[in-house]
Amino acid sequence: MDHGYTIRHGRLSYLDSQAPLPAAAELALRVAVAVTRWSQRQRTRTQLKRLEPHRLADIGMTPEEAWREAARPFWRD
């Protein structure tokens, strides 16, 4: 069982059960989520370009594919 998922899901359920947020709070929440995603992408791509070729092969990537992915801007999915 993924307890992290359960906790996150519980928090999201709580938010869903509450009255709608004011517009400013909604905007702040969307910005926070976007910045968190961007940060995670940047960290992941930085780590990806540092992986050794045999580890890339384990995840089905060539070094060229890893470098291409790592070179993508953080805001691109």
pTM summary value: 0.64
Residue ranges per structural domain of the chain: 23-77
- The span from the CA of 26 to the CA of 75, in Å, is 20
- The span from the CA of 69 to the CA of 63, in Å, is 10
pLDDT digits (tens, 9 = 90+) for 6-53: 556 666 677 677 778 899 999 999 999 999 999 999 999 999 999 999
DSSP string, 3-65: HHHHHHHHHHHHHHHSPPPPHHHHHHHHHHHHHHHHHHHHHHHHHHHHS-HHHHHHTT--HHH
**Look-up: residue for tokens 């359960």?**
6
